[in-house]
Structure 1
Amino acid sequence: MKYICYSILLLFFNVAIAGAQNLKRIDASKASSKVVSGQLKMGNPGPDGKKLEVNNHYLTLNGKPIIPVMGEVHYSRIPTEQWEDVLLKMKAGGVNIIASYALWNHHEEIEGQFDWSGNKNIREFAKLCAKHNLYFYPRIGPWCHAEVRNGGTPDWILTKKNIKDRSNDPVYQQYAEEWYKQVGLQLQGLMYKDGGPIIGVQLENEYRKGKGGEAHILWLKETAQKYGFDTPLYTVTGWQNGSVPPLEVIPLWAAYPDAPWADNLRRNEAKTDFLFKKYRDTDAVGDNVQKDREAYIDYDAYPYFTCEIGVGNMNTDHRRLQIGSRDGLGLIMAKMASGSNLPGYYMFAGGSNPLGQLTTLEENREESGYYNTNPVISYDFQAAINESGRLNGPYHEVKKLHYFLHEFGDRLAPMVPVFPEDNADFQYVVRSSGESAFVFGMNYFRHHDLEALKGLQFEVKLGGGTVIFPSKTVTISDGAIFMWPMNFALGNISLNYATAQPLCHVGNKWIFIEDADASPEFCLKAEGLSSVTASTGKVKEKDGTYVVSDLKPGVDCEINMKEADGSEQKIIVLSKAEALNSWLLDLENGEKAFFVSAADLYANQGEVFAFDTNPNISVLKLNAEGDENFEKYEYQLPEKKLQLEVERVEPLADAVFLKTSAVDELDSKNSLRHRFFLKEFSLNNPSEVKRAKLLIYAETDCKVQLNNRWVNQAVVPGQLTVLDVTGYTQKGENKLMLDFPFEAGDKAFAAELQVEYFNSNRVEFTTNQSWLMRDSYIYPSFLTGFGGFAAPEQVGRRKISGTEQLANQYYVFRLPENYADGLNNVYLQIDYTGDKGKLYFNQLLVADNFYSGDLWEIGLNRLHLPLDGQPLKLEISPLPANARVYFDDAEAKEAATNVLVKSVNLFPEYRVEIQ
């Protein structure tokens, strides 16, 4: 009967074939691949009824194929108080495996001193994952990269003379084993076999030594097992000659939209990672591309899983990128079309680097000899969830795929890709089981404008015959990315094909989404159906099928299917915009609920919350049964208006002018005398001084001494002078002395000593009453003492000349009292031009940004500081005119040479429970 049905379909569409300009033919009828179980040497799969097992193609849960979604967030880069918020947002976006690096130097910056407190408490983070029914996947290094200092290896390892890191050197093994031991102790009892959330562990990262590195990877696996990591999965990164001891670990793969690590200033127009292809590896990730490597991995032995698909990229000092909302979707759909059965994202949620005690912890070319310099704090990554905590454009794009995988991954997982012989003008692949299939198509490459493909139809041969669809040719526009089902079961109803993506199934409602510009078309097998009607478009019954076409997608677009036994099923076809605003949330006891809302949603322990910067929130909730498809909830929350006043801060704005002229008239008795000023200050930060400078405006000649050494740099009278005194400072107590020869009249000076440490802490000492004064012919000296100093004489403020030499500009604004009361979050948005921005609270660096042309946004609840009524100081530096920096946005690069703060605004985020 099946063959007869397909033959009729072929006859029905023979007219359409003749008119097709682009008929894409593919034979997917014999698609098959041998599934081999038990050959991969993994750990305990967990208890009966929940066994998580892996074969050479996919994962199974209690024997059923699954395609989970893995997303990365770094617990040590998120304040503890915001962990739950970001986990709930990830879960609402369809992520159910939380991956995180455990970064060695975040926990043992100083040898022998482990820190597992606060946002470094990996155990509490893992338990929070378990609370929300999320799996946890730690990536424990020892080397991780993650754009952290030394890739996570502590400085004290690298400064040892008799050690070879990242090897089976016995000295390194001793330290690496202790690291694994400490991580294992923290996660004890949380393995999947114990009822915990930990389903796997990644060993090392980007270990590109091929066969030569297998022994070290195997030693790391054995060491991890020794300290309790008995898990269903052991993985490594496989790209670029990654070391993979055969069948001991599973290689995972990567792709990024761009290359912020690239050692050039060219626009990256590579298509490689957007291609539908059999080859899993990439030449586009990392800074050590090996073109001549030997590909020794037997792909057929391992499932095609990914762990580092970038929906975004970090910005570096030399490459400023703007990643589009659909770049990540294009990458992950290319992998899924090509046979991948685990989408894994890096990063799914951005964060902020903690500050070390001794140094900052970002990757830095000048300090650690790595490829890139990244912001000290910001690790936004243009991720699906921004560093600020706000949901970013890619989040809404990729969750459409995630919902499908959770609902129908058991159907897709066993399907294998069948590649056409020629897809030069248009990328397409059929993933097929032989009897049913999904057609993947993509007309998208980052940085490329593509021609629309006109007159498209597919001719796909499956086990039951050949289907040509849609019934009329369609045009696929630039940017289209789609996945269309064939022979897809809607309960007891057979959907021969649809030119729309299935999203989910709730009750008797099947949600599909428009995923191409072509009007969706559905072809249903008539057998078992008594009638098919549609709220829009046309329904044509012919040759044993119902063809529903010319639909206008939207929440009111429905196809009603009545079965012969009287039961009903409905298809609801959402528009592209509604697809982005769709939410499939897990409630308690395995229940699920579907919503459509422009607000952002998540569920917490069965309660559903909406949050938005718009106080007027509207939500549609799908009724699982019944004639009415959606129930509407509307909320008008009290609007909270928050105002800021931003002031430009002039140099020496906080400094008091002190009188330097000691007499009314110079004569032979006083002309050899001097007025000395002494400032004693302490530098007791655990970090070393990175830079120190003295800003001074003096109206007369002046010499500067710091810690009994005269500074060999001239102070120019009547001009703002900046002295580099970095080499003159010392840890502990310091003495700064200024020498002014006697002058008559009303002369004065003001000064500010700025000291910045390698851990980014900063202190400033401005002239005030603590800068003591002494008039004397004899120079004060450490040999004769510094006695006789008394309070200085303050005078009125002077107009300062020469400030134009200071390239950086400073601004200050004060946050309102109780600004966050009653709100979910408050976003501070800074619209500026320049090279880099830094934000300080007192002397603490709390946020920073590399300018790319995009707005800089900070989630104030991520700072976790007492900011009510407190001032924040903004520092913006310009891009040098001859800077060797690449910008995606050429106009932004030109603008960056001039510092301009266009606006600084606060945006409240409201939250309401949907009930």
Structure 2
Amino acid sequence: MGDPSDRADAIGATSRYLTRGGRPWLPVMGEFHYSRYPAAEWREELAKVRAGGVTMVATYVFWIYHEEERGVVDWSGDRDLRRFVTECADVGLDVVVRIGPWGHGECRNGGFPDWVQHAGLRTRTDDPAYLAIVRPWFAQIAAQLTGLDRAWGGPIVGIQLENELYDQPDHLLTLKRLAREVGLDAPLWTATGWGHAQLPPDEVLPLFGGYSEAAWDSAHDGWPQQARAHYFFGPGRDDDSIGADLRTTPSPVDGDEAHLMRYPFATCELGGGMYTSYHRRPVVEPDDIAALALVKLGSGSAWQGYYMYHGGSMKIGRRSTLQESHATGYPNDCPLVTYDFQAPLGEYGQFRESWARLRMQHLWLADHGAALAPMTLSMPDDAPTDTADRSTLRWAVRSDGHCGYLFVNNHQPVETLPDHHDVQFGVALAGREIVVPAQPVTVASGAYFVWPLRRPIGEVTLVSATAQPVCDIVVDGVPTAVLVQTGGIGVELTFDGEEIGSVDGTGTAVHDGQDVRVTGLQPGTGCRVRVTSRTGGVADILILDERSARQLTRGRCWGTDRLVVSAAPALVTDDGVVVYTPPADAEILLYPPLSPADTTDGLFGRYAIGGRQAAPVPAQVRSLSPAGPAREPVIDPVSGNASAPTDDNFAAAAVYEVPIPPEVLDHADETLLRVDWTGDVGRAYIGDTLVADHFWYGSTWEIGLRRFRDLLRDQPLRLHLLPLRRDAPVYLSPQVRPTDHVAGQVLQLRSASFVPVSRVTVKPAAR
């Protein structure tokens, strides 16, 4: 495992963390399936991924997408793996290739072509006949990736073998040997470890996951039991519910994880959202995603990996649809096309609020990940051990004995947690007890945050702060720590008094024993505390409010490292600051400002950017036929789950025609058709071509039109909508479940509109 030690930026692994260039390394990985997104748009989408603070992309190579018919192998267009990996490198992203040959990913046969699935082989074993077809398939992948591995300076840092294979350690070794023999190689070899998987010792890194919901669970009305564990701090890594719907033997009852302590705590499937199966369609909120991610960091994660980070669309094959379904022996019926996953970046590249909330964590990891990675977990004596406990405040510390971070989580989905009053935390570090804050506070329901402990900033030590670290920059030679107020808790900064010469800026500084404590701060773009050490060194601390921090990105623009605050999603690129769909009066804030005279928003400069957001345009929808009665439920006899409607069932669908105005098709950027409706299942057609579908789960249905321009120039789009029965055996989140049924069913198409998505690039040359 690992690069040759003489390589300047050698990648390796210890029992607690990864290393790169001889330093601890905490990568942030986001799943993005190249074959489920138009190749023409990869570069733009990868730039969004990178701007979200992701440093590494994971992607499945679905065999069925490339060799649906035996001997007919297709690496062209959206299936061009080589081009995708190259474009990842071009935008500065590392790559982990999940080569299978079985992958899952809600793909038909787990990614096996039908000719493999039905060949009578003992697949996913060392059956010689099976290996005889796997080897040439691996050789095909290797040919695509020639020259893109680390030995040639390429971006491929990891290869995942198989997926969710829990009882064939020797087969994983065989796959690794085959992959190497045909030319595949990487410093990191991984395998999924959930379900108490039996893995070959020291040959692969076990990677884990955790989801806030589970579309593979039953249609019961409650929250999946296993999901609760992911909102509690602790050393546990395994989630045996992932893949449990496909395992034929149960996981060990004792769940002993002692053998995992040899490996760093690494993840590849922290839920960036959740897909919708027909029988279970949960809503995943942005806080559900961000709180889970923070809990994993607080629990010891040394590799943050999200599934999915970017949604996509499943292909329609030449011989069949390519989704997971009851018809192919899976317990879950998935949509034919959509794989949006409620991800931080959606099926058509939509920015979700979870993108911004995770970005705030990722900005911190970019500057502090190397310090956090080696730190070990400490738990309070009264830490809850029962995942049904909703009364004990959940917190933990990661530290190296000298400095560290205090993590708090008071959020979980579905089952609201209470406020906690009169809270203080006591942490022993560097031979003293740190009590934070000095006066008790209330940790509100829904709050989750991380606070620094004994953090060096220039020549001074920030002993504690009741504010979350965001990032570090240097402004005119002054080291500057950027923090954000969290949970409505008043910000208190405590410095080591022996180091402090003076404290200036907003707030009130008081010498309190051995410390200097600053209170009375008003977080925002004008809140700065300047600390001068006894030897004359200067350090700044900026304290932002939560809204500004969620709108914050940083990067090198106009000749220096800057903070950029934008209400619309913004990316710092080589060309300038790209802002998505800004209104006509849009502005960005920059720190440091371009000129001292520009400081008009606290410490930040405020700059108009010439936004050109167009208002949504109502679509002219024409009803072609009304819906018939909702169909009788169909239950899969094997899984016991409700089955999705078939093509024949859509004969009873309401049909609507949506003409697409020429100006929508001439728009250079994306235009979304936003459909506000309630019902069961919707499909969108252009002519006879199915282009999108939707299991209704409470959200509006968005369809990106850019990729269908050529089809839409000659024909309208049609919506086929099925009504939802009142007693349909499907799970819907309680807050969205309809109550306005008519004659035992509901189908409403309230509106449809065209929503332009524009981009404005603010270039340095414009100044």
What TM-score comes out, normalization by structure 1 length? 0.76
Q: Does 1:159 find its partner at 2:118?
A: yes
* Aligned counterpart, 1:72: 31
Q: CA separation in 2, counterparts of 1:405 and 1:580?
A: 15
* Aligned counterpart, 1:486: 453
Deviation of residue 201 (structure 1)? 0.3
Q: Does 1:914 find its partner at 2:752?
A: no
Confirm or deny: 8 A CA contact 2:552 2:565 kept in the other structure: yes
Confirm or deny: 8 A CA contact 2:196 2:252 kept in the other structure: no
Deviation of residue 650 (structure 1)? 2.9
Confirm or deny: 8 A CA contact 1:887 1:893 kept in the other structure: no
* Aligned counterpart, 2:638: none
Q: Does 1:835 find its partner at 2:698?
A: no
Cα 1:890–1:436 shift into 2, 3 Å: closer
Deviation of residue 45 (structure 1)? 4.7
Q: CA separation in 2, counterparts of 1:624 and 1:410?
A: 29
Q: CA separation in 2, counterparts of 1:870 and 1:613?
A: 31
* Aligned counterpart, 2:490: 519
Q: CA separation in 2, counterparts of 1:295 and 1:155?
A: 38
* Aligned counterpart, 2:510: 540
1:474-530 per-position Cα deviation (integer Å, ceiling 9, x unaligned): 100011111111110112111011111111111132211112221111101233433
Deviation of residue 257 (structure 1)? 0.6
Deviates more, 1:592-601 or 1:175-184: 592-601
* Aligned counterpart, 1:575: 545
* Aligned counterpart, 1:10: none
* Aligned counterpart, 1:173: 131
> 3-state DSSP class of the match of 1:326?
helix
Q: Does 1:186 find its partner at 2:144?
A: yes
Confirm or deny: 8 A CA contact 2:687 2:715 kept in the other structure: no
Q: CA separation in 2, counterparts of 1:549 and 1:419?
A: 28
Q: CA separation in 1, counterparts of 2:626 and 2:690?
A: 19
Rg larger in 1 or in 2?
1
Deviation of residue 466 (structure 1)? 1.1
Confirm or deny: 8 A CA contact 1:77 1:351 kept in the other structure: yes
> 3-state DSSP class of the match of 1:234?
strand
Deviation of residue 448 (structure 1)? 1.3
Confirm or deny: 8 A CA contact 1:430 1:439 kept in the other structure: yes
Cα 1:262–1:828 shift into 2, 3 Å: same
Confirm or deny: 8 A CA contact 2:26 2:302 kept in the other structure: yes
Confirm or deny: 8 A CA contact 2:726 2:746 kept in the other structure: no
Deviation of residue 68 (structure 1)? 1.2
Confirm or deny: 8 A CA contact 2:207 2:268 kept in the other structure: yes
Q: Does 1:498 find its partner at 2:496?
A: no
1:204-249 per-position Cα deviation (integer Å, ceiling 9, x unaligned): 000021xxx1110000111111122221100000000223100010
Q: CA separation in 1, counterparts of 2:139 and 2:132?
A: 11
- AA aligned to 2:375 is M
Deviation of residue 112 (structure 1)? 1.0
1:147-168 per-position Cα deviation (integer Å, ceiling 9, x unaligned): 010110111112113x111110
* Aligned counterpart, 1:671: none
| Counterparts of residues 27-42 of structure 1 (less than 5 Å) | 42=1
1:360-387 per-position Cα deviation (integer Å, ceiling 9, x unaligned): 101111x201011111000000001011
* Aligned counterpart, 1:898: 746
Confirm or deny: 8 A CA contact 1:506 1:624 kept in the other structure: no
Q: CA separation in 2, counterparts of 1:136 and 1:344?
A: 12
Confirm or deny: 8 A CA contact 1:521 1:551 kept in the other structure: yes
* Aligned counterpart, 1:459: 426
Confirm or deny: 8 A CA contact 1:614 1:909 kept in the other structure: no
> 3-state DSSP class of the match of 1:329?
helix
Q: CA separation in 2, counterparts of 1:820 and 1:539?
A: 60
Confirm or deny: 8 A CA contact 1:350 1:386 kept in the other structure: yes
Deviation of residue 842 (structure 1)? 1.3
| Counterparts of residues 583-662 of structure 1 (less than 5 Å) | 583-585=553-555, 592-612=561-581, 614-623=583-592, 628=599, 629-638=603-612, 640=614, 642-650=617-625
Cα 1:891–1:545 shift into 2, 3 Å: closer
- AA aligned to 1:166 is R
* Aligned counterpart, 2:336: 376
Q: Does 1:86 find its partner at 2:45?
A: yes
Q: Number of residue pairs matched?
A: 723
* Aligned counterpart, 1:850: 695
| Counterparts of residues 680-699 of structure 1 (less than 5 Å) | none
Cα 1:894–1:115 shift into 2, 3 Å: farther
Q: CA separation in 1, counterparts of 2:709 and 2:5?
A: 38
> 3-state DSSP class of the match of 1:130?
helix
| Equivalent residue for 2:670, pick from 825, 840, 846 | 825
* Aligned counterpart, 2:54: 95
Deviates more, 1:609-618 or 1:559-568: 559-568
* Aligned counterpart, 2:196: 241
Q: Does 1:256 find its partner at 2:204?
A: no
Cα 1:139–1:860 shift into 2, 3 Å: same
> 3-state DSSP class of the match of 2:109?
helix
Confirm or deny: 8 A CA contact 1:98 1:137 kept in the other structure: yes
Q: CA separation in 2, counterparts of 1:865 and 1:392?
A: 28
> % of aligned pairs identical?
33
Q: CA separation in 2, counterparts of 1:514 and 1:545?
A: 21
| Counterparts of residues 403-418 of structure 1 (less than 5 Å) | 403-418=363-378
Q: CA separation in 1, counterparts of 2:720 and 2:204?
A: 47
* Aligned counterpart, 2:294: 333
Q: CA separation in 1, counterparts of 2:667 and 2:516?
A: 53
Q: CA separation in 2, counterparts of 1:805 and 1:149?
A: 22
Q: CA separation in 1, counterparts of 2:735 and 2:118?
A: 41
Cα 1:150–1:567 shift into 2, 3 Å: same
| Counterparts of residues 124-143 of structure 1 (less than 5 Å) | 124-143=83-102
Deviation of residue 410 (structure 1)? 1.4
Deviation of residue 586 (structure 1)? 5.8
Cα 1:554–1:862 shift into 2, 3 Å: farther
Q: CA separation in 2, counterparts of 1:410 and 1:639?
A: 40
- AA aligned to 1:272 is A
| Equivalent residue for 1:309, pick from 261, 270, 279 | 270
- AA aligned to 1:630 is F
Confirm or deny: 8 A CA contact 1:439 1:485 kept in the other structure: yes
Deviation of residue 636 (structure 1)? 3.5
* Aligned counterpart, 2:162: 204
Gaps of 5+ in 2: 385-391, 630-643
Deviation of residue 893 (structure 1)? 4.4
1:302-328 per-position Cα deviation (integer Å, ceiling 9, x unaligned): 010000000200011001110011111
- AA aligned to 2:405 is F
Deviation of residue 296 (structure 1)? 6.8
Confirm or deny: 8 A CA contact 1:261 1:316 kept in the other structure: yes
Q: CA separation in 1, counterparts of 2:4 and 2:704?
A: 40
- AA aligned to 2:672 is Y
Confirm or deny: 8 A CA contact 2:594 2:605 kept in the other structure: no
Q: CA separation in 2, counterparts of 1:824 and 1:493?
A: 48
1:331-358 per-position Cα deviation (integer Å, ceiling 9, x unaligned): 1112111111111000000000111000
Cα 1:448–1:550 shift into 2, 3 Å: farther
* Aligned counterpart, 1:778: none
Cα 1:310–1:805 shift into 2, 3 Å: closer
Cα 1:446–1:530 shift into 2, 3 Å: same
Cα 1:100–1:592 shift into 2, 3 Å: farther
> 3-state DSSP class of the match of 1:56?
coil
Q: Does 1:348 find its partner at 2:306?
A: no
Deviation of residue 265 (structure 1)? 2.2
